[in-house]
Structure 1
Amino acid sequence: MTTLSDLTTLAEVAALAETLPQADTDAIAAAETRQGNLTKPPKSLGRLEDLASFMAGWQKSAHPSIGQAQALIFAGNHGICAKGVNPFPQEVTAQMVANFKSGGAAINQLCRASGADLDVVALELDAPTADFSETEAMTEAEVLSAMQAGAKAIPPSASILILGEMGIGNSTVAAALACAAFGGDAADWVGRGTGSDDDGKALKARVIEQGRSLHAKARGLDLLRAYGGREQAAICGAVIEARARRIPVILDGYICTAAVVPLFAANPAFLDHCIVGHQSAEPGHARLLDAMGKQPVLTLDMALGEGSGAALALGVLRAALECHNGMATFAEAQVSGG
């Protein structure tokens, strides 16, 4: 199978959507049959049953399981910060990467609680992308390089992938990607990010509108080139590699979901193996999920990023599989009604 490392253009990457593995319908049917025979009223476990069937389809097994759960945080810096769109300096990105690596961030605790390994991939933090309100954020070669870095970061033994991000200014990039793909006013997609006040939100909207005027012809994966950043491109690369290896993906909140918008815009089928861990408190996320037809696993008023909501959703997914695999059938339990 062709991999990202073999490709030299974004058009070639977009064409991969037609060649990637599909969910196994026989395994899904077998999982649903099992669900119907378990000692419970039909569909009484709601989304838990859907999640178990989802996992069955990608693992090609009526009894799906989670071996190594791998969380990846991709970090990048952004030229749009030169416009003052974030109240914190870009040095915070590297500082937070160090915090992740030393175990001091929220995601470290959540991964430990949910049973996930965590790796952090810093992407050229000393070389921010260009300012998308003035020029393209990245060249095609830079986009491909970041995508390939994302693909290479997935360990061989991973059976489920949790994706998150870190990057001062990337809430502006997220809003720009969502706005460019789905329309509306930039103000509809902008939130407070790491603490912007009303003036800061208005500034974000203005620079996004400037970018939209400049990149009006950008479509599909070219949105990554137009708006950046490296961590968004790496997330896209990780999603494609996971699909090639039949690894289900849990996306985090607004910024992580917006990161895969270029894949969705190129072909929605790119994201068939992805679920969204939670609905962020960032106002644009609910709008984005609706546009993409994705239902979050959790809604907890979180807006942290880092993969935090996706790590929490892993616990729900584990619970779904425990019920699916561990419950007795009516026949096994000698309970009437099956």
Structure 2
Amino acid sequence: MTIYLPIAEMSVDVFLILLMGGGVGFLSGLFGVGGGFLMTPLLIFIGISPAVAVATEANQIVAASVSGVLAHMRRRNVDFKMGTVLTAGGFAGSGLGVLIFTFLREIGQVDLVVQLSYVVFLGIVGFLMLFESARAIFKNRAGTATRGKLHQHTWLHGLPFKMRFRRSRLYISALLPLGIGFFVGILAAIMGVGGGFLMVPAMIYLLGMPTAVVVGTSLFQIIFVTANVTFLQAINNQTVDVVLALLLLTGAVVGAQIGTKASGRLRGEELRGLLALMVLGVSAKIGVELVSTPEDVYSINETPGFGL
């Protein structure tokens, strides 16, 4: 069963889109990420233009995140104060990101920048997370694991404007989560992601938040930042495909609930390791697509009468 997407200007299989939405929604609930780092490339792989994929994917991220947050709220695994500060930075960053996206689209470089961003950021974050989680797993199996915090105190923790985040058991400068939210907001607008693949590691390693609280808090922040991205993209670029968004939303809501239940059965380092493998896999796939020869190779031939 196929359906026509008016903005993407192509027909797609309805069940394929529903399955994609459900699968990414499952990952959203499992890892505390919006799932855009996976869904946006998948949409591009099936033929949807990067501009439409980036703008439309934000809708699916919102739905999956709302569903996931509701489940985590029942477990009291959401730090609303931390999430609010992250959201404030994310709003500013996403506004700037949409302006950058619009500029790149006008000069015809948005496709290249989006794909390169995925390769670079996903590759770096995935490698670092995989290294850390593998080390933690080996230490646990060897019986040498310690209960120390994952983050190290640096000059960043000496910044002013300190706030107490009781749910996360932290007393740190508000500038840290504001800065993280701002940077992730920019990427959310340019790459069509919720930013969880960067937000989750930053919350664990830079802020020092407990893994159990990180997942729900990350999803809480993602809701508002990606909703803002959707609104701004629709106004500035008119690239949000409502039909595609509704199909993705339907699958995402169901998948997120299932993923949230599954997350409680895995240890923190195991969750980080699985997320790292997913991130590296997507990065590798996009990298191969960038350097491989396309199936349809176009060439410019001299037209008689116009050559030298």
Q: TM-score, length-normalised on structure 2? A: 0.31
Which structure carries more strand by proportion? 1
